[in-house]
Chain A
Amino acid sequence: MRLSRTHPLIRPLVDDNPVTLQILGLCSALAVSSSLRPALIMSISVIVVLAFSNVSVSLLRYVLPRSVRLILEMTIIASAVVVIDEVLKAFVPGVSAILSVFVGLIVTNCIVLGRAETFARYNTVGASLADGIGNGLGYSLILLSVAALRELLGSGALFGVTLLPVLADGGWYRPNAMMQSSPSAFFIIGLLIWGVRSWRTEQVEQPAFSVRHAEQRETSQ
Protein backbone atom coordinates (compact mmCIF):
# COMPACT_ATOMS: atom_id res chain seq x y z
CA MET A 1 0.00 0.00 0.00
CA ARG A 2 1.63 3.16 -1.21
CA LEU A 3 0.69 6.05 1.07
CA SER A 4 0.47 9.43 -0.60
CA ARG A 5 2.13 12.54 0.80
CA THR A 6 -1.26 13.87 1.85
CA HIS A 7 -2.27 10.77 3.82
CA PRO A 8 -2.84 11.71 7.48
CA LEU A 9 -0.15 9.25 8.50
CA ILE A 10 2.51 10.73 6.19
CA ARG A 11 1.70 14.41 6.00
CA PRO A 12 2.75 15.28 9.56
CA LEU A 13 6.19 13.76 9.07
CA VAL A 14 7.63 16.62 7.00
CA ASP A 15 5.00 18.64 5.15
CA ASP A 16 2.96 19.46 8.22
CA ASN A 17 5.32 18.58 11.04
CA PRO A 18 3.84 19.59 14.37
CA VAL A 19 7.13 20.92 15.72
CA THR A 20 8.81 22.55 12.73
CA LEU A 21 5.74 23.94 11.00
CA GLN A 22 2.74 24.00 13.30
CA ILE A 23 4.85 25.24 16.23
CA LEU A 24 3.27 22.77 18.61
CA GLY A 25 4.68 20.41 21.21
CA LEU A 26 7.88 22.34 21.60
CA CYS A 27 8.31 22.12 25.36
CA SER A 28 9.08 18.46 25.64
CA ALA A 29 10.77 18.29 22.25
CA LEU A 30 13.41 20.54 23.70
CA ALA A 31 13.47 19.53 27.32
CA VAL A 32 13.61 15.73 27.05
CA SER A 33 16.08 15.65 24.20
CA SER A 34 19.35 15.21 26.05
CA SER A 35 19.60 11.47 25.51
CA LEU A 36 17.89 8.84 23.38
CA ARG A 37 16.37 6.51 25.95
CA PRO A 38 14.10 9.05 27.71
CA ALA A 39 13.35 10.62 24.34
CA LEU A 40 12.16 7.28 22.98
CA ILE A 41 9.94 6.58 25.99
CA MET A 42 8.56 10.11 25.69
CA SER A 43 7.87 9.66 21.97
CA ILE A 44 6.00 6.42 22.53
CA SER A 45 3.99 8.04 25.34
CA VAL A 46 2.99 10.97 23.12
CA ILE A 47 2.00 8.68 20.25
CA VAL A 48 -0.17 6.56 22.56
CA VAL A 49 -1.86 9.61 24.11
CA LEU A 50 -2.42 11.19 20.68
CA ALA A 51 -3.94 8.00 19.29
CA PHE A 52 -6.21 7.51 22.31
CA SER A 53 -7.30 11.14 22.43
CA ASN A 54 -7.98 11.45 18.70
CA VAL A 55 -9.98 8.21 18.63
CA SER A 56 -12.01 9.22 21.71
CA VAL A 57 -12.82 12.69 20.42
CA SER A 58 -13.71 11.29 17.02
CA LEU A 59 -16.03 8.70 18.59
CA LEU A 60 -17.76 11.45 20.54
CA ARG A 61 -17.78 14.03 17.78
CA TYR A 62 -21.54 13.98 17.21
CA VAL A 63 -22.48 14.14 20.88
CA LEU A 64 -19.93 16.52 22.36
CA PRO A 65 -21.88 19.44 23.82
CA ARG A 66 -20.48 22.76 22.68
CA SER A 67 -20.59 24.36 26.10
CA VAL A 68 -18.27 21.91 27.82
CA ARG A 69 -16.34 20.65 24.83
CA LEU A 70 -12.90 21.85 25.88
CA ILE A 71 -13.23 20.59 29.44
CA LEU A 72 -14.33 17.15 28.23
CA GLU A 73 -11.42 16.96 25.81
CA MET A 74 -9.01 17.95 28.56
CA THR A 75 -10.52 15.33 30.86
CA ILE A 76 -10.02 12.59 28.29
CA ILE A 77 -6.47 13.70 27.57
CA ALA A 78 -5.59 14.07 31.26
CA SER A 79 -6.94 10.60 32.06
CA ALA A 80 -4.89 9.05 29.29
CA VAL A 81 -1.79 10.85 30.54
CA VAL A 82 -2.32 9.75 34.14
CA VAL A 83 -2.61 6.12 32.97
CA ILE A 84 0.57 6.40 30.89
CA ASP A 85 2.38 8.02 33.80
CA GLU A 86 1.40 5.20 36.15
CA VAL A 87 2.40 2.55 33.59
CA LEU A 88 5.82 4.15 33.16
CA LYS A 89 6.31 4.43 36.92
CA ALA A 90 5.51 0.74 37.26
CA PHE A 91 7.60 -0.72 34.44
CA VAL A 92 10.46 1.70 33.76
CA PRO A 93 10.88 3.61 37.05
CA GLY A 94 14.43 4.71 36.22
CA VAL A 95 13.43 6.48 32.99
CA SER A 96 10.24 7.73 34.60
CA ALA A 97 12.35 9.52 37.21
CA ILE A 98 14.43 11.16 34.46
CA LEU A 99 11.31 12.27 32.58
CA SER A 100 9.84 13.49 35.89
CA VAL A 101 7.21 16.15 35.27
CA PHE A 102 7.39 15.99 31.47
CA VAL A 103 5.14 12.97 31.16
CA GLY A 104 2.50 14.85 33.12
CA LEU A 105 3.08 17.81 30.82
CA ILE A 106 1.85 15.80 27.85
CA VAL A 107 -1.54 17.03 29.06
CA THR A 108 -0.57 20.52 27.99
CA ASN A 109 1.26 19.36 24.90
CA CYS A 110 -0.29 21.61 22.27
CA ILE A 111 -0.19 18.83 19.67
CA VAL A 112 -2.70 16.70 21.54
CA LEU A 113 -5.33 19.36 22.09
CA GLY A 114 -4.51 20.93 18.74
CA ARG A 115 -5.19 17.77 16.72
CA ALA A 116 -8.29 16.97 18.75
CA GLU A 117 -9.72 20.40 18.02
CA THR A 118 -8.72 20.74 14.38
CA PHE A 119 -8.92 17.18 13.07
CA ALA A 120 -10.52 14.57 15.30
CA ARG A 121 -13.65 16.63 15.77
CA TYR A 122 -14.44 16.55 12.07
CA ASN A 123 -13.13 13.23 10.84
CA THR A 124 -13.79 9.52 11.06
CA VAL A 125 -12.24 7.32 13.71
CA GLY A 126 -9.90 5.66 11.24
CA ALA A 127 -8.59 8.93 9.84
CA SER A 128 -8.27 10.39 13.33
CA LEU A 129 -6.25 7.40 14.48
CA ALA A 130 -3.93 7.78 11.49
CA ASP A 131 -3.64 11.51 12.09
CA GLY A 132 -2.86 11.00 15.76
CA ILE A 133 -0.17 8.44 15.05
CA GLY A 134 1.18 10.51 12.15
CA ASN A 135 1.56 13.65 14.26
CA GLY A 136 3.07 11.59 17.04
CA LEU A 137 5.59 10.19 14.56
CA GLY A 138 6.37 13.67 13.21
CA TYR A 139 7.00 14.87 16.74
CA SER A 140 9.10 11.79 17.48
CA LEU A 141 11.16 12.34 14.35
CA ILE A 142 12.26 15.75 15.57
CA LEU A 143 12.69 14.69 19.19
CA LEU A 144 14.76 11.61 18.37
CA SER A 145 16.94 13.49 15.85
CA VAL A 146 17.77 16.14 18.43
CA ALA A 147 18.32 13.52 21.14
CA ALA A 148 20.58 11.43 18.91
CA LEU A 149 22.79 14.41 18.09
CA ARG A 150 22.89 15.65 21.66
CA GLU A 151 23.71 12.28 23.15
CA LEU A 152 26.29 11.43 20.51
CA LEU A 153 28.13 14.73 20.64
CA GLY A 154 27.50 15.37 24.32
CA SER A 155 28.60 12.03 25.75
CA GLY A 156 29.84 9.97 22.84
CA ALA A 157 27.12 7.34 23.18
CA LEU A 158 23.78 6.36 21.68
CA PHE A 159 21.28 4.62 23.96
CA GLY A 160 24.11 4.34 26.44
CA VAL A 161 26.30 2.38 24.00
CA THR A 162 29.63 4.16 23.65
CA LEU A 163 30.46 5.02 20.05
CA LEU A 164 33.04 7.73 20.63
CA PRO A 165 35.31 6.80 23.53
CA VAL A 166 35.56 9.78 25.83
CA LEU A 167 38.74 11.21 27.31
CA ALA A 168 37.66 10.30 30.83
CA ASP A 169 37.56 6.62 29.82
CA GLY A 170 40.90 6.74 28.07
CA GLY A 171 39.52 7.54 24.62
CA TRP A 172 40.08 10.43 22.27
CA TYR A 173 36.73 12.22 22.17
CA ARG A 174 36.25 15.36 24.24
CA PRO A 175 32.51 15.53 24.97
CA ASN A 176 30.87 18.73 23.78
CA ALA A 177 29.61 20.37 26.97
CA MET A 178 27.17 22.63 25.17
CA MET A 179 25.35 19.63 23.74
CA GLN A 180 24.62 18.50 27.26
CA SER A 181 22.82 21.73 28.19
CA SER A 182 19.48 23.01 26.99
CA PRO A 183 20.49 25.82 24.55
CA SER A 184 21.86 23.21 22.16
CA ALA A 185 18.35 21.86 21.59
CA PHE A 186 17.30 25.26 20.28
CA PHE A 187 20.26 25.48 17.92
CA ILE A 188 19.75 21.99 16.57
CA ILE A 189 16.06 22.51 15.89
CA GLY A 190 16.78 25.88 14.30
CA LEU A 191 19.31 24.29 11.96
CA LEU A 192 16.97 21.38 11.30
CA ILE A 193 14.25 23.81 10.26
CA TRP A 194 16.73 25.52 7.96
CA GLY A 195 17.53 22.18 6.37
CA VAL A 196 13.89 21.15 5.96
CA ARG A 197 12.89 24.50 4.48
CA SER A 198 15.75 24.46 2.04
CA TRP A 199 14.48 21.08 0.88
CA ARG A 200 10.76 21.91 0.94
CA THR A 201 10.87 25.56 -0.04
CA GLU A 202 7.09 25.95 0.15
CA GLN A 203 7.45 26.09 3.96
CA VAL A 204 9.59 29.24 3.89
CA GLU A 205 7.99 32.12 5.80
CA GLN A 206 7.71 35.54 4.22
CA PRO A 207 9.66 38.21 6.08
CA ALA A 208 7.60 40.75 8.01
CA PHE A 209 9.30 43.69 6.35
CA SER A 210 11.28 43.67 3.20
CA VAL A 211 13.86 46.31 2.50
CA ARG A 212 12.83 48.50 -0.39
CA HIS A 213 15.72 48.95 -2.74
CA ALA A 214 16.58 52.23 -4.40
CA GLU A 215 15.17 51.23 -7.86
CA GLN A 216 11.80 50.33 -6.36
CA ARG A 217 11.51 53.68 -4.65
CA GLU A 218 12.03 55.52 -7.91
CA THR A 219 9.49 53.47 -9.84
CA SER A 220 6.83 54.02 -7.19
CA GLN A 221 7.14 57.84 -7.43
Chain B
Amino acid sequence: MTKAAESVPRTLAVVIAVALFCSAMVSGAVYLLRPIQAAYALLERNRTIVEVAYGAGERTDADVVQAFLALDARVLDLESGEYVPAMDSYGFDHWSQERVEQGATRRVPIYFVTRKDARAYLVLPVEGPGMWSTLQGYVGLQADLQHIATLGIFRHGETPGIGDRIQNRDWLSAWHDKQIVDAAGAVLISGVKSEGAITAYQIDLITGATITSSAVVRLVSNWFGEAGYGPWLARLRADEPARGVK
Protein backbone atom coordinates (compact mmCIF):
# COMPACT_ATOMS: atom_id res chain seq x y z
CA MET B 1 0.00 0.00 0.00
CA THR B 2 1.66 3.21 -1.15
CA LYS B 3 1.70 6.38 0.90
CA ALA B 4 -0.80 8.01 -1.45
CA ALA B 5 -3.34 5.30 -0.73
CA GLU B 6 -3.14 6.07 2.97
CA SER B 7 -4.20 9.70 2.65
CA VAL B 8 -7.13 10.83 4.74
CA PRO B 9 -9.41 11.87 1.87
CA ARG B 10 -8.90 8.54 0.15
CA THR B 11 -9.56 6.62 3.34
CA LEU B 12 -12.70 8.63 3.93
CA ALA B 13 -13.85 8.01 0.38
CA VAL B 14 -13.45 4.24 0.69
CA VAL B 15 -15.12 4.20 4.10
CA ILE B 16 -18.10 6.22 2.89
CA ALA B 17 -18.46 4.14 -0.27
CA VAL B 18 -18.46 0.88 1.69
CA ALA B 19 -20.85 2.30 4.28
CA LEU B 20 -23.28 3.50 1.61
CA PHE B 21 -23.20 0.22 -0.25
CA CYS B 22 -23.72 -1.88 2.87
CA SER B 23 -26.52 0.38 4.11
CA ALA B 24 -28.29 0.17 0.77
CA MET B 25 -27.94 -3.60 0.73
CA VAL B 26 -29.24 -4.07 4.27
CA SER B 27 -32.04 -1.51 4.04
CA GLY B 28 -33.14 -2.85 0.67
CA ALA B 29 -33.30 -6.40 1.96
CA VAL B 30 -35.23 -5.42 5.08
CA TYR B 31 -37.67 -3.26 3.10
CA LEU B 32 -38.40 -6.03 0.62
CA LEU B 33 -38.65 -8.82 3.15
CA ARG B 34 -40.66 -7.15 5.92
CA PRO B 35 -44.09 -7.82 4.34
CA ILE B 36 -43.35 -11.52 4.00
CA GLN B 37 -42.08 -11.75 7.57
CA ALA B 38 -45.14 -9.91 8.85
CA ALA B 39 -47.40 -12.20 6.86
CA TYR B 40 -45.85 -15.20 8.62
CA ALA B 41 -46.13 -13.54 12.03
CA LEU B 42 -49.89 -13.16 11.55
CA LEU B 43 -50.22 -16.51 9.80
CA GLU B 44 -53.35 -17.81 11.52
CA ARG B 45 -55.19 -14.56 11.02
CA ASN B 46 -54.12 -14.44 7.39
CA ARG B 47 -55.26 -18.02 6.88
CA THR B 48 -58.80 -17.01 7.86
CA ILE B 49 -58.67 -13.99 5.57
CA VAL B 50 -57.42 -16.12 2.66
CA GLU B 51 -60.16 -18.71 3.26
CA VAL B 52 -62.83 -16.01 3.28
CA ALA B 53 -61.37 -14.52 0.09
CA TYR B 54 -60.73 -17.67 -1.90
CA GLY B 55 -62.66 -20.42 -0.13
CA ALA B 56 -61.55 -23.18 2.20
CA GLY B 57 -58.87 -25.60 1.03
CA GLU B 58 -55.54 -27.31 1.68
CA ARG B 59 -52.90 -24.64 1.89
CA THR B 60 -49.32 -24.72 3.10
CA ASP B 61 -48.03 -21.80 5.14
CA ALA B 62 -46.21 -20.49 2.08
CA ASP B 63 -49.44 -20.67 0.04
CA VAL B 64 -51.25 -18.62 2.67
CA VAL B 65 -48.52 -15.97 2.70
CA GLN B 66 -48.49 -15.74 -1.09
CA ALA B 67 -52.28 -15.56 -1.37
CA PHE B 68 -52.46 -12.97 1.40
CA LEU B 69 -49.84 -10.73 -0.17
CA ALA B 70 -51.75 -10.93 -3.47
CA LEU B 71 -54.73 -9.15 -1.89
CA ASP B 72 -55.09 -5.41 -2.19
CA ALA B 73 -54.93 -4.38 1.46
CA ARG B 74 -55.83 -0.90 2.65
CA VAL B 75 -56.21 0.71 6.06
CA LEU B 76 -59.62 2.34 6.34
CA ASP B 77 -60.31 5.12 8.83
CA LEU B 78 -63.94 4.66 9.84
CA GLU B 79 -64.33 8.22 11.11
CA SER B 80 -63.35 9.90 7.88
CA GLY B 81 -64.19 7.11 5.46
CA GLU B 82 -60.77 7.59 3.88
CA TYR B 83 -57.86 5.24 3.37
CA VAL B 84 -54.66 5.81 5.34
CA PRO B 85 -51.90 5.15 2.79
CA ALA B 86 -49.06 5.85 5.25
CA MET B 87 -49.79 2.74 7.30
CA ASP B 88 -48.53 -0.77 6.56
CA SER B 89 -51.83 -2.30 5.48
CA TYR B 90 -50.50 -5.87 5.23
CA GLY B 91 -48.82 -5.96 8.63
CA PHE B 92 -51.49 -3.93 10.42
CA ASP B 93 -52.92 -6.01 13.23
CA HIS B 94 -55.79 -3.94 14.63
CA TRP B 95 -56.69 -6.74 17.01
CA SER B 96 -53.22 -6.92 18.59
CA GLN B 97 -52.87 -6.57 22.33
CA GLU B 98 -51.21 -3.15 22.26
CA ARG B 99 -53.82 -1.62 19.97
CA VAL B 100 -56.69 -2.95 22.02
CA GLU B 101 -55.09 -1.51 25.14
CA GLN B 102 -54.62 1.84 23.48
CA GLY B 103 -58.32 1.84 22.68
CA ALA B 104 -57.49 2.84 19.13
CA THR B 105 -59.74 0.71 16.96
CA ARG B 106 -61.34 3.10 14.52
CA ARG B 107 -58.82 2.13 11.87
CA VAL B 108 -59.32 -1.26 10.27
CA PRO B 109 -57.49 -3.17 7.54
CA ILE B 110 -59.73 -4.14 4.61
CA TYR B 111 -58.83 -6.37 1.70
CA PHE B 112 -59.91 -6.13 -1.94
CA VAL B 113 -59.56 -9.42 -3.77
CA THR B 114 -58.07 -8.92 -7.19
CA ARG B 115 -58.20 -12.46 -8.54
CA LYS B 116 -61.23 -13.10 -10.72
CA ASP B 117 -61.75 -16.70 -9.59
CA ALA B 118 -62.01 -15.75 -5.92
CA ARG B 119 -65.06 -16.33 -3.75
CA ALA B 120 -65.34 -12.80 -2.39
CA TYR B 121 -64.76 -9.32 -3.79
CA LEU B 122 -64.03 -7.52 -0.53
CA VAL B 123 -63.01 -8.91 2.88
CA LEU B 124 -63.92 -6.87 5.97
CA PRO B 125 -63.02 -7.58 9.61
CA VAL B 126 -65.89 -7.65 12.08
CA GLU B 127 -66.05 -8.21 15.82
CA GLY B 128 -68.45 -8.03 18.70
CA PRO B 129 -69.35 -9.50 22.07
CA GLY B 130 -70.32 -13.14 22.14
CA MET B 131 -71.73 -14.99 25.10
CA TRP B 132 -68.43 -15.40 26.94
CA SER B 133 -65.87 -13.63 24.78
CA THR B 134 -65.25 -11.21 21.96
CA LEU B 135 -65.86 -12.81 18.60
CA GLN B 136 -63.60 -11.77 15.74
CA GLY B 137 -64.12 -12.71 12.13
CA TYR B 138 -64.19 -11.66 8.50
CA VAL B 139 -67.08 -11.05 6.11
CA GLY B 140 -66.47 -11.68 2.41
CA LEU B 141 -68.71 -9.42 0.33
CA GLN B 142 -69.76 -10.01 -3.24
CA ALA B 143 -69.08 -7.38 -5.88
CA ASP B 144 -72.49 -5.74 -5.45
CA LEU B 145 -71.50 -4.96 -1.83
CA GLN B 146 -74.92 -6.12 -0.61
CA HIS B 147 -74.70 -9.89 -0.65
CA ILE B 148 -72.40 -11.96 1.40
CA ALA B 149 -70.06 -14.45 -0.24
CA THR B 150 -68.35 -16.05 2.75
CA LEU B 151 -68.05 -15.68 6.50
CA GLY B 152 -65.07 -16.77 8.54
CA ILE B 153 -64.63 -16.83 12.33
CA PHE B 154 -61.06 -16.07 13.41
CA ARG B 155 -61.09 -15.93 17.21
CA HIS B 156 -63.57 -16.71 19.92
CA GLY B 157 -63.65 -17.97 23.47
CA GLU B 158 -67.04 -19.65 23.48
CA THR B 159 -67.92 -22.96 25.10
CA PRO B 160 -66.35 -25.91 23.31
CA GLY B 161 -68.98 -28.15 21.77
CA ILE B 162 -71.67 -25.51 22.07
CA GLY B 163 -70.71 -21.93 21.19
CA ASP B 164 -67.82 -23.01 19.01
CA ARG B 165 -70.30 -24.44 16.52
CA ILE B 166 -70.27 -21.02 14.93
CA GLN B 167 -67.13 -22.31 13.20
CA ASN B 168 -69.08 -25.21 11.77
CA ARG B 169 -68.62 -25.36 7.96
CA ASP B 170 -72.29 -26.01 7.29
CA TRP B 171 -73.48 -23.02 9.27
CA LEU B 172 -70.86 -20.71 7.75
CA SER B 173 -71.72 -21.79 4.21
CA ALA B 174 -75.40 -21.08 4.93
CA TRP B 175 -74.42 -17.41 4.93
CA HIS B 176 -73.53 -17.60 1.25
CA ASP B 177 -75.66 -15.32 -0.96
CA LYS B 178 -77.52 -13.85 2.03
CA GLN B 179 -78.28 -10.17 1.67
CA ILE B 180 -76.83 -7.99 4.42
CA VAL B 181 -78.06 -4.60 3.23
CA ASP B 182 -80.42 -3.42 0.52
CA ALA B 183 -79.46 -1.06 -2.28
CA ALA B 184 -80.24 1.94 -0.08
CA GLY B 185 -77.96 0.68 2.66
CA ALA B 186 -80.61 -0.35 5.19
CA VAL B 187 -79.49 -3.35 7.18
CA LEU B 188 -81.67 -6.34 6.46
CA ILE B 189 -79.85 -9.28 7.94
CA SER B 190 -81.33 -10.88 11.02
CA GLY B 191 -81.38 -14.19 12.74
CA VAL B 192 -84.37 -16.49 13.15
CA LYS B 193 -85.01 -19.83 14.70
CA SER B 194 -86.35 -21.47 11.61
CA GLU B 195 -89.65 -23.19 11.47
CA GLY B 196 -89.84 -23.36 7.72
CA ALA B 197 -88.75 -21.26 4.78
CA ILE B 198 -86.40 -18.40 5.52
CA THR B 199 -85.83 -15.36 3.38
CA ALA B 200 -82.67 -14.30 1.61
CA TYR B 201 -81.78 -12.01 4.47
CA GLN B 202 -82.38 -14.28 7.40
CA ILE B 203 -79.87 -16.56 9.06
CA ASP B 204 -81.04 -19.75 10.67
CA LEU B 205 -79.64 -19.73 14.20
CA ILE B 206 -77.88 -22.81 15.56
CA THR B 207 -80.16 -24.89 17.73
CA GLY B 208 -78.54 -25.20 21.14
CA ALA B 209 -76.18 -22.30 20.43
CA THR B 210 -78.74 -19.61 19.89
CA ILE B 211 -77.06 -16.95 21.96
CA THR B 212 -73.64 -17.24 20.33
CA SER B 213 -74.94 -17.57 16.78
CA SER B 214 -77.31 -14.63 17.20
CA ALA B 215 -74.35 -12.67 18.58
CA VAL B 216 -72.59 -13.29 15.26
CA VAL B 217 -75.63 -12.03 13.32
CA ARG B 218 -75.84 -9.01 15.58
CA LEU B 219 -72.22 -8.03 15.20
CA VAL B 220 -72.41 -8.39 11.42
CA SER B 221 -75.50 -6.22 11.24
CA ASN B 222 -73.87 -3.64 13.56
CA TRP B 223 -70.78 -3.44 11.43
CA PHE B 224 -72.78 -2.86 8.27
CA GLY B 225 -74.86 -0.12 9.87
CA GLU B 226 -74.20 3.57 10.45
CA ALA B 227 -71.56 2.98 13.13
CA GLY B 228 -69.51 0.62 10.95
CA TYR B 229 -68.94 0.23 7.24
CA GLY B 230 -72.38 1.53 6.25
CA PRO B 231 -71.54 5.08 5.11
CA TRP B 232 -68.31 4.05 3.40
CA LEU B 233 -69.96 1.14 1.57
CA ALA B 234 -72.74 3.46 0.42
CA ARG B 235 -70.11 5.68 -1.18
CA LEU B 236 -68.43 2.65 -2.76
CA ARG B 237 -71.74 1.45 -4.18
CA ALA B 238 -72.34 4.87 -5.68
CA ASP B 239 -69.08 4.41 -7.57
CA GLU B 240 -70.40 1.24 -9.21
CA PRO B 241 -69.50 2.22 -12.75
CA ALA B 242 -65.96 3.03 -11.63
CA ARG B 243 -65.63 -0.39 -10.08
CA GLY B 244 -66.82 -2.07 -13.24
CA VAL B 245 -69.68 -3.88 -11.52
CA LYS B 246 -72.49 -5.06 -13.75
B100 on the interface (CB 8 Å rule)?
Answer: no
Are the CB atoms of B18 and A76 closer together than 8 Å?
Answer: yes
B197 on the interface (CB 8 Å rule)?
Answer: no
Q: Bound state CA distance, A68 and B19, in angstroms?
A: 12
* Size category, A interface: 20 to 34
A93 on the interface (CB 8 Å rule)?
Answer: yes
A220 on the interface (CB 8 Å rule)?
Answer: no
B219 on the interface (CB 8 Å rule)?
Answer: no
Chain B hits for A93, CB < 8 A: 37, 40
Given contacts A86-B33, A87-B29, A90-B37, contact A65 B15 (CB under 8 A): yes
**Min distance, Cβ A95 to any Cβ of chain B, angstroms:** 12
Main SS at interface, chain B: helix
| Contact string against A for B residues 16-31, beta-carbon threshold 8 Å, 1 for contact and 0 otherwise | 0011001101100110
B14 on the interface (CB 8 Å rule)?
Answer: yes
Are the CB atoms of A89 and B37 closer together than 8 Å?
Answer: yes
Q: Bound state CA distance, A90 and B30, in angstroms?
A: 10
B184 on the interface (CB 8 Å rule)?
Answer: no
Query: Among the listed stretches B4-12, B145-153, B175-183, B235-243, which one makes contact with chain A, having 4 or more residues with CB under 8 Å of it?
Result: B4-12
Are the CB atoms of B26 and A83 closer together than 8 Å?
Answer: yes
Q: Bound state CA distance, A173 and B122, in angstroms?
A: 54
Q: Bound state CA distance, A113 and B241, in angstroms?
A: 63
Q: Which residue of A lies closest to B23 (CB)?
A: A79
Q: Which residue of A lies closest to B2 (CB)?
A: A62
Given contacts A76-B18, A93-B40, contact A65 B10 (CB under 8 A): yes
A23 on the interface (CB 8 Å rule)?
Answer: no
Within 8 A of A (CB), among B66-111: none
A91 on the interface (CB 8 Å rule)?
Answer: yes
Main SS at interface, chain A: helix
Chain B hits for A87, CB < 8 A: 29, 33
Chain A hits for B26, CB < 8 A: 79, 82-83
Are the CB atoms of A65 and B29 closer together than 8 Å?
Answer: no
Chain B hits for A86, CB < 8 A: 29-30, 33, 37
Q: Which residue of A lies closest to B18 (CB)?
A: A72
Q: Bound state CA distance, A80 and B29, in angstroms?
A: 10
Chain A hits for B40, CB < 8 A: 90, 93
Q: Which residue of B lies closest to A64 (CB)?
A: B14
Chain A hits for B143, CB < 8 A: none
B36 on the interface (CB 8 Å rule)?
Answer: yes
A177 on the interface (CB 8 Å rule)?
Answer: no
Given contacts A63-B5, A76-B22, A93-B40, contact A68 B33 (CB under 8 A): no
Task: List the interface of chain A (C-beta within 8 A of B).
Answer: 60, 62-68, 72, 75-76, 78-80, 82-83, 86-87, 89-91, 93
Could you name 5 residue pairs across A and B whose Cβ atoms are closer than 8 Å? Answer: A63-B5, A63-B14, A65-B15, A79-B22, A90-B36
Beyond contacts A66-B1, A83-B29, A86-B29: 11 other A-B pairs, Cβ-Cβ < 8 A, are A60-B14, A64-B14, A65-B6, A65-B10, A76-B18, A76-B22, A82-B29, A86-B30, A89-B33, A90-B37, A91-B36
